[in-house]
Structure 1
């Protein structure tokens, strides 16, 4: 099988079977005839279409040397024109960059962020945009709000971005720009920008997303939309997801699923953090009791020694 299709094809195919959504009828990935592969006599040649063999980068590692284009296709290492990083390589890259232990309740979040974003990045039609950047910033601000080692948080986020071939500084800048733009507008203004464009760069970027039939939806893009709903003073819910998805011509089902996953994950994280806070409080209480007991014993021994000296 290794000679017929790359690892990314199988990972992506499995991911799409489970999650479905707007990818189900995508032209970006050709179906694989598994029965033919098993027999060893494929009816047609299997071509990996998840490979990126272009040289322009959506988020260059050195912003000063790039242009201002935020929607070009991503860059990956190329071997003979057909190569793409695997999930394992991305995770390995992250582990080399960030060598600090990650608390257990945040470990799963980091791993899922790396895997889901990697799968979106290796799709041929992936395009970086400010909505994606805002989604990443939302995850870092909301899910890592109570991260116990504040001094390591920025390094953690930067390591995640570099492992995904993204520029953390560029993401923060674009997210802040979109955040400011969204706060100054109503939901109707934003929907109109998505449907007709406008006089500013962000309006035209949103419009171009809706007009791009090859657009690749990602979870971070969906969370960026959720954050935009909140910033314009509206509650993120199913009905609003349908309206925004319709304006952008993307799958409302996928957006609603990501909203539901986000809300459930946030609730579980809050419960876990509360549990750990209670455990930490108990440990501190036990430690304080032990120290008090030791101090009491030391005082008693000192009093005994003093009495012996007097006698």
Structure 2
């Protein structure tokens, strides 16, 4: 029997792929995403699908907004995926391809399509088959990242509907029933996601204001020093 990878194994692998230190402000975000992806990757009922891929990419991109140095972000994302023995290009491809595919659809049409995915508009057959397996699987493994991906998709198509709990619940009811989605859990996951995004945005605003104030202070000090030299 193959030994099941531990969180420690995944963490070690991550730092082999990404050797630079993680900016302290974002360290917890990276650690939590790493652990979540790890626990799913070793779960017997889990399989990567395009909606989950949207959730992973969206979570990473949103929570890593403003990361410095900017060029490290891609390395960190790649390391997260490789550490759980996944291909980062697959995540990016599935996410981007599916989001492009749904563009122009109504939320209602999308839900109907998800219940019976068929190839259209040249959509990659692998993506179609992956989404078919989601609805056909007996033991679908729901995850917070799947919930975020699902919310992202609906929000892209109809932001107003995504904010209306009653209409959203009615819309997704057939899909939720088919997958036996824990609707209350999904709602809590989405609410927490939006709340954390607000906190990140507030933090970035404070950081930007602090940096700007520091620049102004430095400029004023330099002007004062120049005047003193002249006098």
TM-score range, shorter chain: 0.7 to 0.9
Displacement of 1:236 in angstroms is: 2.5
CA RMSD in angstroms, aligned pairs only? 2.0
Higher Cα radius of gyration? 1
Pick from 219, 225, 230: which aligns with 1:294? 225
Q: Deviations over 1:40-92 (max 9, x none)?
A: xxxxxxxxxxxxxxxxxxxxxxxxxxxxxxxxxxxxxxxxx141111122122
In the TM superposition, 1:46-195 aligns within 5 A as 81-195=1-115
1:231 is aligned to 156
1:284 is aligned to 215
TM-score, length of structure 2 as denominator length: 0.86
Structure 1 pair 169/82, CA: closer, same or farther in 2 (3 Å)? closer
Structure 1 pair 161/205, CA: closer, same or farther in 2 (3 Å)? closer
Partners of 2:56 and 2:145 within 8 A in 1? yes
Q: Deviations over 1:157-194 (max 9, x none)?
A: 11111112111112111111101111132112221123
Q: Deviations over 1:177-222 (max 9, x none)?
A: 1011111321122211232333454455434312212221122211
Pick from 183, 190, 214: which aligns with 1:252? 183
2:145 is aligned to 220
TM-score, length of structure 1 as denominator length: 0.65
Partners of 1:185 and 1:232 within 8 A in 2? yes
Displacement of 1:115 in angstroms is: 0.8
Displacement of 1:148 in angstroms is: 2.8
Select the structure that is richer in helix.
2
Structure 1 pair 197/96, CA: closer, same or farther in 2 (3 Å)? closer
Partners of 2:50 and 2:131 within 8 A in 1? no
Q: Which has the higher contact order (CA 8 A, sep 6+)?
A: 2
Structure 2 unmatched runs, 5+: none
Q: Secondary structure at the match of 2:133?
A: helix
Counterpart CA distance in 2 for 1:89 and 1:285 is 46
Structure 1 pair 273/286, CA: closer, same or farther in 2 (3 Å)? same
Structure 1 pair 206/97, CA: closer, same or farther in 2 (3 Å)? closer
Displacement of 1:272 in angstroms is: 1.0
2:200 is aligned to 269
Structure 1 unmatched runs, 5+: 1-80, 301-311
Counterpart CA distance in 1 for 2:116 and 2:53 is 22
Q: Secondary structure at the match of 2:71?
A: helix
Counterpart CA distance in 1 for 2:71 and 2:13 is 21
